Amino acid sequence: MQIKNIKLSSMSNESIKNEIRQYLKESIVQDESMIIDDNTPLISGGLMDSISTLKMVGYIEQKYGIEFQPHEVDRENLETLELITNFIGSKL
């Protein structure tokens, strides 16, 4: 726990956001030229389907050492980069 906190305190919201953005481009959309801004609708816009959403959840859990509760995997937390970053922030 102690170690995790130290590691993450140095991580700004902005850098988390950019890491996730990069992950989305590389692994989910697989299109580097795609513009994903903070409020691009990822799920309702059809960029992420249910499986890629779960993949991303797995990626976030591993990378930031947090755990999603089953009911937290929803649009309220994952629809945009902004929401995802805020959600991660709230768990750190």
Partner 1 sequence: MTLPDKLHNYLETAARVNGDKIYIKTSSACFSFSRVFEMAVFLQEIFKHNGIQEYDRVVLYSSKNAASIAVMAACSKCEALYIPVAAANPAERAKFIIYETNPRFIVCDEMTSAELKNLSLPIELIHATEDVCIFKFFPVERDVFANHQSGFILYTSGSTGTPKGVLISHEAAIAFIDWAANEFNILESDVLASIAPFNFDLSVFDIYVTAKKSATLILYSEEDTKNALLMAQKLSDDNVSTIYATPTFFTTLANYGKLHKYNYSSLRNVLFAGEIFQPDNFNKLIENWPGKRYANLYGPTETNVCTFYRIHNTHPGNAMFPIGKPCAYAKCKLVDSDENEIMEKNVEGELWVSAESLFTGYWKDADKTNASMRVSNDKNIYYRTGDIVFKNNDDDFVFVSRKDRMIKKNGFRIEPSEVEKVITSFPHVVHVAVLFSKTKNQLVCFMEIAQDFKYDTMQLKLFCQKFLPLYMVPDKFVFLDAMPKNTSGKVDLQLLDKQLQ
Residue 27, both tokens: 């692994």
Single-letter residue type at 3: I
Nearer residue to partner 1 within complex by CB, 4 or 75: 75
- Minimum CB separation of residue 9 from partner 1 in Å reads 27
Would you state the structure tokens that stand for residue 20, as one six-digit string? 């996730």
Q: Residue 73: what residue type?
A: V
Q: Pick the closer one to partner 1 by CB: 12 or 44.
A: 44
Cβ nearer to partner 1, comparing 11 with 40 = 40
CB of 41 to partner 1, least distance (A): 8
Q: Which residues bind partner 1 (CB under 8 A)?
A: 29-31, 34-35, 40, 45-47, 49-51, 53-55, 57-58, 68-71, 73-74
Which of 64, 3, 5 has its CA nearest to residue 84? 64
Most distant CA pair in the chain, distance: 39
